[in-house]
């Protein structure tokens, strides 16, 4: 009897949904009551927005194998589209402007995804830079997008859904958390459908995918559209829930590279990897900033400290990639497997 009990404990494995459920329970039930304004405004809300952007880019790059360096452009399209839908369409619900903004970003994504029909790899990545420069130029050149504001800055509307206001640091965090949770569940479901399998088939071998009947061209454009939808909604969260006021320059090339780094560091073709990578790139610089100011604040100026933080962060990224080239999510799985009793030798 004792042997049977021990065997059943050794063979028990937590279901896949248990981990995300626990994380969500903590995120909704604990964090709002213990977090400070700084934690919500400086860490959690940007973390959620960048995680969603990385989920979107991972669908395109990790699953479908199409490189893109124009993610910030699609974030900008989403932010400015939601602003204009909310401003110019009376009575449109806030979530309706989010959906329309995502669709606007998806339409732009299809246009700039057309080169993927002829280009591959780094050539495609370079071609997507056109989206970055064109969108930023258009938003700066035509003041209509910012309601004729001379500085090009847009202000976020009040976050109200069904009469419930999400203003304040905790409200904006919960609003962003709900949007990110819903879209992440949608992305997870997508990669387990035939569409997701088509993405992987095209990524692994286009010719083989075509032979087995996968519509390669349509699959590529669909990947650009879905990815841009996610990234566009992430741009709305970045503008409405995090910054509250934003200008076109806020969606520059640095932001695009930041999202690419999140995907690579977190792990390609992994929904969880987007959150791991975002946590590293959002939280670590803040931790390094606090530690650097505490230890070296009296000896060096802020510019030197900022450069030291970048060097340390770069070194940490190199270390993590050497330790596990498949990203932090693979490193996490490896550590978890070593700690699991199921892997112990009898």
Q: What is the mean pLDDT of residues 179-196?
A: 95
Q: How far apart are the first and last CA of the chain?
A: 18
* Residue 245 DSSP code: E
Do 273 and 327 meet the contact criterion of CB atoms below 8 Å apart?
yes
Q: How far is CA 44 from the centre of its chain?
A: 13
Q: What is the mean pLDDT of residues 254-264?
A: 90
What's the whole-model pTM score? 0.89
Mean pLDDT across the chain, nearest whole number?
A: 86
Q: What is the mean pLDDT of residues 36-58?
A: 93
pLDDT of residue 5 exceeding 90: no
Bridge partners, 164 (sequence order): 161
Q: Each residue of 100-114: b (16+ CB within 10 Å) or e?
A: bbbbbbbebbeebbe
pLDDT digits (tens, 9 = 90+) for 189-222: 999 999 999 999 999 998 999 999 999 999 999 9
Q: Is the dihedral of CA 293, 296, 298, 301 positive or negative?
A: negative
Q: What is the mean pLDDT of residues 336-343?
A: 72
Rounded Cα gap, residues 102 and 100, in angstroms: 5
More confident residue, 48 or 310: 48
pLDDT digits (tens, 9 = 90+) for 59-77: 999 999 998 888 999 999 9
pLDDT at 7: 53
């Amino acid at each position: 009897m004792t042997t049977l009990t021990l065997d059943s404990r050794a063979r028990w494995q937590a279901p896949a949904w248990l981990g995300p459920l626990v994380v969500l329970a903590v995120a909704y039930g604990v964090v709002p009551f213990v977090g400070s304004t700084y934690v919500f405004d400086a860490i959690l809300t940007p973390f959620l927005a960048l995680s969603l952007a990385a989920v979107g880019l991972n669908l395109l790059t990790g699953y479908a194998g199409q490189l893109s360096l124009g993610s910030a452009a699609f974030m900008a399209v989403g932010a400015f589209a939601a602003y204009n839908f909310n401003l110019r369409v009376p009575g449109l619900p806030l979530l309706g402007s989010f959906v329309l903004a995502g669709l606007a970003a998806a339409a732009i994504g299809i246009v700039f995804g057309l080169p993927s029909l002829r280009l591959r790899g780094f050539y495609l990545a370079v071609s997507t830079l056109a989206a970055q420069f064109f969108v930023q130029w258009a938003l700066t050149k035509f003041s209509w997008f910012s309601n004729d504001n001379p500085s090009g800055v847009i202000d976020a509307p009040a976050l109200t859904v069904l009469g419930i206001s999400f203003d304040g640091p905790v409200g904006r965090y919960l609003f962003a958390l709900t949007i990110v949770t819903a879209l992440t569940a949608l992305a997870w479901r997508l990669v387990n459908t035939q569409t997701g399998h088509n993405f992987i088939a095209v990524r692994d071998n286009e010719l083989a995918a075509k032979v087995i009947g996968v519509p390669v061209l349509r699959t590529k454009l669909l990947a650009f559209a879905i990815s841009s939808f996610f990234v566009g909604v992430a741009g709305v969260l970045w503008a409405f829930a995090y910054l509250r006021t934003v200008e076109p320059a806020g969606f520059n090339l640095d932001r695009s590279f930041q999202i690419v780094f999140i995907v690579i560091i977190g792990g390609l073709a992994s929904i969880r990897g987007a959150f791991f990578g975002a946590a590293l790139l959002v939280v670590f610089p803040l931790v390094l900033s606090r530690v650097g100011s505490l230890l070296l604040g009296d000896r060096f100026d802020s510019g030197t400290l900022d450069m030291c933080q970048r060097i340390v962060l770069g070194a940490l990224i190199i270390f993590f990639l050497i330790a596990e080239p498949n990203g932090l999510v693979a490193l996490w799985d490896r550590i978890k497997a070593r700690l699991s009793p199921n892997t112990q030798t009898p």
